Amino acid sequence: MNQILIFSGTTEGRKLAEDLCKKGIHCTVCVATEYGEMVMEKREGLRICQGRMTVREMRELIQKENYNAVVDATHPFATVVSDNIRSSMTDCRIPYLRLRRQTRNQVIERIHNSREMQISFYPNSNSCAEALTDTSGKILLTTGSKELAIYSSKPWLKERLIVRVLPGIESINLCYEKGLTGRQIIAMQGPFSVEMNEAIMKQYDISCLVTKESGSAGGFLQKIKAAENLNIKVMVIGNPEPDEGLTQTEVYLELEKLTGVNLFEEEKVEISFIGMGMGNPRLLTKEAEEKLKIADVCFGAERLVNSIPWMKEKHSFYLARDIIPWLKEHRVKQAAVLFSGDTGFYSGSEKLREALKDEAEAENGLKSEVFIYPGISSISYLAARLQTSWQEAEIISIHGRAANVAWAVRANKKTFLLVSGVSDVRTLGSLLMAAGMEEVVISLGYQLSYPEEEIITISPAECLTLEKEGLYACMIVNDKAAERVLTHGMADEMFIRDKVPMTKEEIREISICKLGLAKTSVLYDVGSGTGSIAVECARISEDIQVYAIEKKAEAAKLIKVNRAQFGLTNVSVIQGEAPEAFLNLPFPTHAFIGGSSGNMKEILTAIYRKNPGARIVINVITLETLSEVTELLRTLPVRQEEIVQLQVSKASKAGRYHLMKAENPVYVISFFFKEEGQEKV
């Protein structure tokens, strides 16, 4: 039979005993007081030994039964008890496991987040009591009843004390023995909420809080926060225990090995996705902060995890391929993943959530339950700093992705832009200047929420001079913004043409309609010429990716000029001959073929191999090319083929008259490739 001996007296010890009993592991739990026995929930397989024990009595108890292990879950300030337990186990062959309560760095984190906090640290109660001599007003003493004599023996302190102790007879009797009256005694079981602590401090007109560094399980942080809110001086007696021992998860894993019982079986790991705002923990929601307090581990970018000093177990990675294997190996109960800004605003949270969902459905996969806690996005934070609204702003990002920034700025009075750093800000200045928008106003939020935060208002030209590295967010205001036209349809005169062939305006618009582009299409513009098709298609949506493929150097150079004048970042110019130029490109969802240089069959075959479901539109002028394409339609797997002949005539002035001038007829051929299993429609 598996048996564990637990020296308890803490929340962690009680929970450990409950969890072990649930799994059929018998537990003997030793507590010092009647109150300690009272708060233990009675369970099958649980035996409670109440009363303080000597080293000899501990040794006799350990030797009396065949225990798998001894777990020391006593209070971190009960160092004498821990020493006695270790002494009693001299020459014992069973393992000693110290369940360590995490207390370090929690107050330091609170001080870091508060500029007004009055807090002092002391190595013991004697030094703290001496320091209280220099204070005035009432003192809330929350260090327990054992060291009460240190404070009550000093007459100038005794009458000022309000002591909060456990509602056990032993604790209350000690208070009376030290001469404290009923109005000075608060006998209540904690831990207490921030609100409850505040209410007590207000009711008793407290000027100074004395507490031990007892960790979150003892309600330590709630006391500190309440004192901070009321601007009350705090005196902390530091944890005397060495920073040794095991975390709760590590103790459970050790007990699994010793008993052969899976203590985590059929339990899901709870994973909290937490939006960190700009990165400063002060911007966390209260709900998110509470989840971080109870997490066993947190993951995220290095900048984010380092901003949580109280978290001992933290790792600076955030991708599913790294997080999932770690969780499967270490099997914690509570985990947190930190995301910058808001979890629903250009965040990686969606990809990780999907990956965890797939993992949960896989055989022997990690079972998890995800909870999402949003943060403050950079757009709302910057808008607040600028004292402006953002609901009407166009929101785009060039943080690791391409976007048509100039087009957005030209068409919107306000544009909010996410960037990666100072190099992106300089690129922004160049783009806007090349697009002829030198007069727009750019407001930059630098290191938002951090001490070095700065709001900078500059011009596109001044962007080029920025050198300070760091985190930036941008709001661009264009008072001369033109209303965006929702349809494509650019006049031929808008393009720089030189002597390079160009698909004419009317043919171009019908051809683009036949393409039927979607928001995230990938288009090959084969034989791009001046790039008129590429430019118009790229302007439909910043998410469309266009590859303008042109073999002639002169034409490729001209495409780049036209791309620049419209400020397009989603057009890639590929100088080379098709289909060889397709080699390193992503597969196309659509292709427009304006020129094939005699390689029509090879081009269509290459596109089919890259994507058997692609949509194709071809412009044909000569009858020979028309014959070639129609023959290919008989041999290639296609569906929904359509051939349209267009004859465009434009009026030209001849004196007082307008005469229609005909242009060459053009055949617009469109079709889908037919994927395997599809019938020809």
Residues in Cβ contact with 486 at an 8 Å cutoff, skipping those fewer than 6 apart: none
Asked if residue 208 has pLDDT above 70, the reply is yes
Asked if residue 216 has pLDDT above 70, the reply is no
User: What's the confidence (pLDDT) of residue 313?
Assistant: 83
Distance CA(602)–CA(322), nearest Å, equals 43
Asked if residue 376 has pLDDT above 90, the reply is yes
CATH code matching the domain that covers 106-237, chosen among 3.40.50.20, 3.30.70.60, 3.10.20.740, 1.20.1050.10: 3.40.50.20
Helix axes 55-64, 79-88, angle to 10 degrees: 50
> Greater confidence, 627 or 663?
627
Structure tokens at 204: 């008793």
Residues in Cβ contact with 132 at an 8 Å cutoff, skipping those fewer than 6 apart: 139, 151, 157, 208, 210, 235
User: What's the confidence (pLDDT) of residue 106?
Assistant: 47
User: What's the confidence (pLDDT) of residue 109?
Assistant: 47
Which percentage of the chain shows pLDDT scores above 90? 52
User: What's the confidence (pLDDT) of residue 310?
Assistant: 75
User: What's the confidence (pLDDT) of residue 113?
Assistant: 47
User: What's the confidence (pLDDT) of residue 631?
Assistant: 93
Question: pTM score, two decimals?
Answer: 0.51
What's the mean pLDDT in 11-24? Answer: 89
Measured on CA atoms in the order 46, 49, 50, 52, is the torsion positive or negative? negative
Residues in Cβ contact with 531 at an 8 Å cutoff, skipping those fewer than 6 apart: 495, 525, 548, 550, 558, 559, 562, 563, 571, 573
Burial of 191 (0-12, 13-18, 19+ CB in 10 A): middle
Asked if residue 115 has pLDDT above 60, the reply is no
Q: Into which CATH architecture does domain 492-673 fall?
A: 3-Layer(aba) Sandwich (3.40)
Burial of 133 (0-12, 13-18, 19+ CB in 10 A): exposed
Asked if residue 537 has pLDDT above 90, the reply is yes
Asked if residue 492 has pLDDT above 80, the reply is no
User: What's the confidence (pLDDT) of residue 200?
Assistant: 94
Q: Into which CATH architecture does domain 3-98 fall?
A: 3-Layer(aba) Sandwich (3.40)
What's the mean pLDDT in 572-593? Answer: 95
Domain ranges of the chain: 3-98, 106-237, 266-373, 378-477, 492-673
Read off the pLDDT of residues 340-356 as tens digits, 9 standing for 90 and up. Answer: 999 998 888 999 999 99
What's the mean pLDDT in 273-292? Answer: 90
> Greater confidence, 436 or 593?
593
Q: What is the DSSP letter of 213?
A: -
Q: What confidence category does residue 102 fall into, taking pLDDT thresholds of 50, 70 and 90?
A: low
Residue pair 481/511 in contact by the 8 Å Cβ criterion? no
**How many other C-beta atoms can be found within 10 angstroms of the C-beta atom of residue 595?**
24
What's the mean pLDDT in 93-107? Answer: 74
In 206-364 the beta strands, taken as DSSP E runs, fall at 206-212, 233-237, 269-275, 297-299, 314-315, 334-339
CATH 3.40.1010.10 fits 266-373, yes or no: yes
Q: What confidence category does residue 557 fall into, taking pLDDT thresholds of 50, 70 and 90?
A: very high
In 149-301 the beta strands, taken as DSSP E runs, fall at 161-165, 185-187, 206-212, 233-237, 269-275, 297-299
User: What's the confidence (pLDDT) of residue 404?
Assistant: 74
Asked if residue 315 has pLDDT above 70, the reply is yes
Distance CA(42)–CA(23), nearest Å, equals 15
Distance CA(409)–CA(479), nearest Å, equals 10
Q: Fold for 378-477, please state it.
A: 3.30.950
Describe the chain by its helix, strand, coil percentages, rounded to 5. 35, 25, 40
Residue 442 half-sphere exposure toward CB, CA atoms < 13 A: 29
What's the mean pLDDT in 318-325? Answer: 89
Residues in the chain: 681
Read off the pLDDT of residues 234-282 as tens digits, 9 standing for 90 and up. Answer: 999 888 776 678 888 889 889 989 998 888 665 689 999 999 998 888 8
Question: Which of 27-36, 217-226, 401-410 has the highest mean predicted lDDT (pLDDT)?
Answer: 27-36
Distance (Å) of CA 614 to CA 72, 525, 585, 641: 67, 13, 14, 13
What's the mean pLDDT in 641-659? Answer: 90
Distance CA(340)–CA(628), nearest Å, equals 55
* Range name among 288-292, 619-623, 672-676 with the lowest pLDDT average: 672-676
User: What's the confidence (pLDDT) of residue 33?
Assistant: 83
Q: Is 63 helix (H, G, I), strand (E, B) or coil?
A: helix
Asked if residue 195 has pLDDT above 90, the reply is no
Fold identical between 3-98 and 378-477? no
* Range name among 53-62, 494-503, 638-647 with the lowest pLDDT average: 494-503
Distance CA(235)–CA(621), nearest Å, equals 88
Residue 174 half-sphere exposure toward CB, CA atoms < 13 A: 21
Read off the pLDDT of residues 137-180 as tens digits, 9 standing for 90 and up. Answer: 999 999 888 889 899 988 888 999 999 998 888 889 999 999 99
Q: Which residue stretches of 592-622 are H helix?
A: 600-610
Burial of 493 (0-12, 13-18, 19+ CB in 10 A): exposed
Q: What confidence category does residue 318 fall into, taking pLDDT thresholds of 50, 70 and 90?
A: confident
Residue pair 616/593 in contact by the 8 Å Cβ criterion? yes
Distance (Å) of CA 237 to CA 121, 399, 571, 634: 6, 47, 64, 88
Q: Rounded mean pLDDT of the chain?
A: 88
